[in-house]
Amino acid sequence: PRLLPRGLRSSVRAPAPAPPCWDLVAAMQKDTGSGDVSPSHVGRVRHRRRPNETATDGNRANGTVLLVSDQNKYKSMLIRTYSSLWMIGGFVFVVYMGHLYIWAMVVVIQIFMATELFNLLRRSSEEKQLPGFRLLNWHFFFTAMLFTYGRFLSRELVNTVTSDHLLYKLVSGLIKYQMFICYFLYIAGFVWFILTLKKKTYNYQFKQYAWTHMILLTVFAQSSFTVANIFEGMFWFLLPASLIVINDIAAYLFGFFLGRTPLIKLSPKKTWEGFIGASVTTIISAFLLANVMGHFQWLTCPRKDLSTGWLTCDPGSMFKPEHYFLGDWVPQWFPWKEVFLLPVQWHALALGLFASIIAPFGGFFASGFKRAFKIKDFGDSIPGHGGITDRMDCQMVMAVFAYIYHQSFISPHNFSVDTILDQIVRNLTYEEQKSLYQQLGEIFRERQFMQS
């Protein structure tokens, strides 16, 4: 101002001092046209959580919200208990009806599981441009069903129709060419898929194609072992399935009342208390249930056909009681000095150990799968439990182990009469079987003549 003329010095003012930091922030807020914090700055404002605020999803993922501290846990428990009682009651009724009905139940479960999994990647906007594309998924589904059960149940199917000569020839022919028929059906679906490709939906269609094959691998590659276990003897289906149910219920109850320590981030409500308590309960239950189930021929006898009649058979060495003298292993005051146990009970311990330690990882896998798709459950068909797939995740893992364990340690490895007859029925025509019968008759007559 000193360099300016005297008349202009009064119009020029000295610069104002710099405002403090809080004045600068207030000035910035005032410049935005409002005294409130702008939406872009909301994320930077920190405040304490109020007592009535619920935990965020991040805290849930870190395991801070456990079942023991859930405010609605008793209501959830009642809903789960009500649904569980209905499921257990229906399951007992189906088991009472027999092997064929259990197989039908498994097929229904597979259809529900496939429906829930198909719906995960469906987009209504894309499907409107592709009429009949959903039908293609089910074409592959039933082709896989025909291939899987045709391989596992060929012997039972043939034994069911032996009384009718015409039907027997028809079924034998279908079984002989079953692999070719299934392959032709698959190729027909493959060609169908190629012909339905549209320019703007290539990405969606190929994702659906890959997703369909993954579902078929998940559903049939595992649940088919369940059906194999059923016809090997209902014991090998019922015991593993019951152990998974017991483990699930025990884990829920122990976690409900005692759970404090988070187990895994994939399942925030799973706790170490529930895992350990369920493991001990499952192993003890396996040992005791094997003794109870092993005394019923309806559960231990294998089914050789698809009939529903009552079963009687030689139970085999696995289901015959053996005497064990305890002697010095127990104290003097212990009332039982000797016990009778079934050999299969020792094998049941292996099943219980797998059901309590390894099978729950099927549930953890499903939890991670649902988190990847940002869904809570696969469906809502079972109140308090979610969908059918939510209940079958551990069962699938257990069914595969039960089948492999039975074939490795229980089933005889040498050639049996049933095995040879199965090969004859599946691979020889009716005329060839008749010729084999005549040749065996001649061999028996020659041996009888030589012995006499």
348 contacts 238 by C-beta, under 8 angstroms: no
Quick: pLDDT tens for 252-276: 899 988 888 999 888 888 899 999 9
Q: Which residues of 420-438 are buried (b: 16+ CB within 10 A; e: fewer)?
A: eebeebeeeeeeeeeeeee
Higher pLDDT, 415 or 152: 152
Q: Identify the residue with better confidence: 104 or 21.
A: 104
| Residue 6: predicted pLDDT | 52
- pLDDT of 234 higher than 70: yes
Rounded distance, CA 305 to CA 302, Å?
Answer: 9
Name the residue with tokens 């405002």.
Answer: 19
Interhelix angle 235-258/344-357, rounded to 10 degrees, is 50
- 3-class secondary structure, 102: helix
Task: State the average pLDDT over residues 410-430.
Answer: 75
Mean pLDDT of 380-402: 88
Whether 273 contacts 250, CB under 8 Å: no
Instruction: Decide if pLDDT at 60 tops 50.
Output: no
3-state secondary structure of 270: strand
Determine the average pLDDT of the residues in 53-70.
Answer: 48
Which class for 383: exposed (0-12), middle (13-18), buried (19 or more C-beta within 10 A)?
exposed
| Residue-averaged pLDDT of the chain | 81
Position 384 confidence tier, pLDDT thresholds 50, 70, 90: confident
- Most confident residue range from 35-44, 184-193, 211-220, 369-378: 184-193
Instruction: Output the pLDDT for position 449.
Output: 85
Per-residue model confidence (pLDDT) at position 356: 95
Instruction: Give the closest residue to 267 by CA, choosing from 376, 387, 358.
Output: 376
Q: How far is CA 336 from CA 17, 89, 331, 356, in A?
A: 97, 35, 10, 29
Q: Read off the pLDDT of each residue in 284-299 and give the average, rounded to a whole number.
A: 94
Which tens digit of pLDDT belongs to each residue from 337-378? 788 999 999 999 999 999 999 999 998 998 888 888 888 888
Position 400 confidence tier, pLDDT thresholds 50, 70, 90? very high
Angle, to 10 degrees, between the axis of helix 417-427 and the axis of helix 165-176? 90
CA 273 and chain centroid, separation: 23
Q: Residue 399 — pLDDT band, cuts 50, 70, 90?
A: very high
What's the pLDDT tens digit per position in 144-202?
Answer: 999 988 877 777 777 777 666 677 778 777 888 889 999 999 999 999 999 989 888 89
Cα-flanking dihedrals φ and ψ of residue 323, to 5°?
A: -90, 130
Q: What is the pLDDT of residue 265?
A: 84
User: Which pLDDT score, from 0 to 100, does residue 28 have?
Assistant: 44
pLDDT band at 67 (very low <50, low <70, confident <90, very high): low
Question: What pTM does this model have?
Answer: 0.74
Using only C-alpha atoms, the chain has a radius of gyration, in whole angstroms, of 34
pLDDT tens for residues 303-341? 888 887 788 888 788 999 998 888 777 787 887 778 899
Q: How many CB atoms lie within 10 A of CB 173?
A: 12
31 has pLDDT over 60: no
Predicted local confidence at residue 47, as pLDDT:
47
Residue 71 has pLDDT above 70, yes or no: no
**Could you give phi then psi for residue 65, rounded to 5 degrees?**
-100, 105
Return the pLDDT at 41.
43
User: pLDDT tens digit string along 6-19?
Assistant: 544 444 444 555 44
DSSP 8-state symbol, 382: B
Which helix H or strand E contains 427, and what residues bound it?
helix 417-427
How confident is the model over 93-144, as pLDDT tens digits?
998 898 989 999 999 999 999 999 988 888 776 777 787 788 999 999 999 9
CA distances to 31, 192, 197 from 131, rounded to whole Å, are: 57, 12, 11
Phi-psi region of 323 (alpha: psi -120 to 50; beta: other; left: phi over 0): beta
Is 30 in a helix, a strand, or coil?
Answer: helix
